[in-house]
Amino acid sequence: MTALTGTRAPTPVVRAGRRRPAARAAAWVRAHRRALVWLSPVLAVGAVVNLVNLGGAPQRIDDEGTYTAQAWAVTNLGELAHYTYWYDHPPLGWLQLAAYTELTGAFARWDVAVLAAREAVVVASLIATVLLWVLARRVGLSRPAAAATGLIFLVSPLALQFHRTVYLDNVAVPWLLLAFVLATNRNRQLAAFAGSAVAFGVAVLSKETFLLALPVLVWVMLRASHRETRRYTLSVAASLLVLIGGSYLLLAAVKGELFSGADRVSLMDGIVFQLSSRAGSGSLTDPDSLLNRTLGMWWQLDQVFIVLGLLSAVAALFLRRLRPYAALVLGLALFMLRPGGYVPVPYVIALLPFGALLIAGVAGDAVARLRARGATGAGPRTGPSRSSRRARSWRSRCGAPSCAASCSRTSTGRCARPRHGSRRTCPVTSAWSWTTPCGWTWCGPAGTAGTSSGTTSSTPTRRSAPSLPTAGAISTT
């Protein structure tokens, strides 16, 4: 028809910002190709090491059979357990195992049901590795150090023993790491903190001992939150966490099993058993105590990880970016030594990702300090400092005015620049230049300040504050 009329067929109009999923995926891969180059080999090695001979080692134990049977009961019997559920653990852990086996057909692929659940916890460990990589990059580790973190977490002998065993702790670890990843987010903090609270609630309802990480998670949120919106974002996160925890109480209340009663189980009885009625693990000095045998098993599996993890935790207390995670590792280590307390065998699983993070982080910091010392010994640097170049680049990009030297200088000689979250955007820079007598400044070497032409002046002068615009004219300082 177009050939007869001589008109051209209309070309489809593709709106900007609406790309096909394949194009978006390709753009994402291009943007993160360097991270994928480092992370993909770690995941491949970890998957092979953890999945090979999955049924041969470690030896199957009774807890694995219990959790696997509960997951099977969810999908086949429609019950929370194959026996009377008595609130010994929150059910969300084996509910996730049941969801994995149902979606992937794991029970049909394996001739032994426990191996299907082992496959699920190995997949959870691989997901946790990706989240641990993101967390390592968030706290400032380099890509090689982040890759080393994931490798230690996946293939250390202590990790291999427990990542291949069906423990609810393995299911909870990815949710705990996701909570910390979202808590360190500086953008869209309301949604990020809400997601962090939800992820932490899921982790606690998967394994209740993960509630011990709550103080450190709050600490990380306080450090990352913006001062202007801190009260609001933290209030929303706390409310969501309470609601998620309350859902467990609501489950027991709906079933009429919240409080103790004759001839029935109850949530209160389960809590009392876990906190007080359960026999303790004994003393560390007693060679026949359960605590001594548990720690001895950990030590026999991997002395190197335990020693390096504890030493790195002590050293990381002096590194601000790693201090919360060092406090978490040391706090959990001291908590298990409390007198009269019970320490389950898989208690160490919660320590594995953060121990790996601290080992790689402290080692990376030591290497960076050695390189900096070597560069300093090679001779004095010429030209502007790194902070000066960064400030000058911001001034050139945003077109912000500069002045002589009314910038406040810290003891390190750096300019105190306006901060609004983690981004110093051009609108924020322009607003700052209107509300301060100096504006956005670039300071050169100590004792000098940059001028608009890029030169330095040793005699600083203060530029007067810009006048407010009138109806007839706008001041463009």
* Residue-wise pLDDT tens digits, 459-468: 444 444 444 4
Give the pLDDT of residue 340. 83
Dihedral angle sign, alpha carbons of residues 36, 37, 43, 48 = positive
More confident residue, 157 or 7: 157
CA 203 – CA 96 distance, rounded (Å): 11
pLDDT of residue 453 exceeding 80, the answer is no
pLDDT of residue 330 exceeding 90, the answer is yes
> pTM for this one?
0.77
Give the pLDDT of residue 438. 46
Nearest Cα residue to 283 out of 330, 342, 331, 347: 342
Q: Give residue-wise pLDDT tens across range 220-273.
A: 999 999 989 999 999 999 999 999 999 999 999 999 999 988 888 999 999 888
The one-character DSSP state at 409 is: B
| Residue 193: strand pairing partners | none
Q: What SS3 class is residue 168? A: helix
Q: For residue 439, which amino acid is it?
A: G
Output the CA–CA distances (angstroms, integers) from residue 379 to 161, 388, 413, 440, in the order listed.
50, 20, 20, 32
Distance of CA 226 to the CA centre of its chain: 18
Give the pLDDT of residue 341. 87
Average pLDDT over residues 85-90: 93
Which range scores top for mean pLDDT: 7-16, 79-88, 305-314, 416-425?
Answer: 305-314
Q: For residue 399, which amino acid is it?
A: G
Q: What SS3 class is residue 449? A: strand
Give the pLDDT of residue 430. 53
| 39 token code pair | 């992370």
Output the CA–CA distances (angstroms, integers) from residue 375 to 372, 380, 389, in the order listed.
5, 9, 19
Phi, psi of 397 (to 5 degrees): -75, -40
Average pLDDT over residues 104-110: 95
Give the pLDDT of residue 21. 84
Which range scores top for mean pLDDT: 54-63, 141-150, 428-437?
Answer: 141-150
| 428 token code pair | 């924020």
pLDDT of residue 429 exceeding 80, the answer is no
Give the pLDDT of residue 184. 95
Average pLDDT, the chain: 82
Average pLDDT over residues 69-79: 95
Residue 274's pLDDT band (cuts 50, 70, 90)? confident
Output the CA–CA distances (angstroms, integers) from residue 184 to 84, 200, 328, in the order listed.
41, 14, 16
Q: Give residue-wise pLDDT tens across range 431-448.
A: 545 554 444 444 444 444
CA 314 – CA 311 distance, rounded (Å): 5
Average pLDDT over residues 341-362: 96
Residue 463 near residue 403 (C-beta atoms within 8 A): yes
Q: Give residue-wise pLDDT tens across range 185-198.
A: 988 889 999 999 99
Give the pLDDT of residue 18. 59
| 322 token code pair | 């790693």
Nearest Cα residue to 153 out of 68, 256, 49: 49
More confident residue, 237 or 419: 237
Dihedral angle sign, alpha carbons of residues 344, 348, 349, 354 = positive
CA 428 – CA 287 distance, rounded (Å): 63
Give the pLDDT of residue 410. 42
| 346 token code pair | 């898989």
CA 160 – CA 115 distance, rounded (Å): 15
CA 76 – CA 17 distance, rounded (Å): 46
Q: What SS3 class is residue 8? A: coil
Rg (CA), the chain: 28
Average pLDDT over residues 343-351: 95
Residue 278's pLDDT band (cuts 50, 70, 90)? confident
More confident residue, 28 or 125: 125
CA angle centred on 266, ends 263 and 267, rounded to 5°: 170
